[in-house]
Amino acid sequence: MHSTERTAFASGYSALVAAVWSDPGRERLLAQDPRVLLAEHGIRVPVGTAVVVVRDRPAVSEVMAAQIRSWEEAAVSGRLTLFVPHPDPLDARDLAEEELDALVAGVGTPGFPGFPGIG
């Protein structure tokens, strides 16, 4: 796959995950007909390829690489594994006003490692 195809795929995949995370209707569509959801985000799946949705939460750094690999191999394997991890809920502890301000501003906040720009 060319880098432009990878970039287009990564962009569509990221938009798909964001849509599922933010819209219960898109999450239902993921469960009912993932091919339609993939098509809505510009991701073509070879004819005859089974789409298997995996909602387990793999390590964030590995999701995109695994997803691209699955997409590249789908035409040969006849199977596309679509990784759509569940979003991480924020820590349920009470935050001080300063911590909330920092979180909204996108600056470091202890207790939230792994969030870009935070912690």
- Report pLDDT digits (tens) over 88-119: 665 435 555 565 555 444 444 344 344 343 33
Q: What is the pTM of this model?
A: 0.67
Instruction: Identify the H or E element spanning 73.
Output: helix 60-77
Of the candidates 70, 113, 65, 110, the one whose C-alpha atom is nearest the C-alpha of residue 88 is 113
Quote the longest CA-to-CA distance of the chain.
Answer: 54
pLDDT digit string, tens, across residues 49-93: 999 999 986 666 678 888 999 999 998 999 999 999 887 665 435
Q: What is the Rg, in whole angstroms, of the alpha carbon atoms belonging to the chain?
A: 17
Alpha helices in 78-116 (DSSP H): 97-105
| CA 7 – CA 92 distance, rounded (Å) | 35
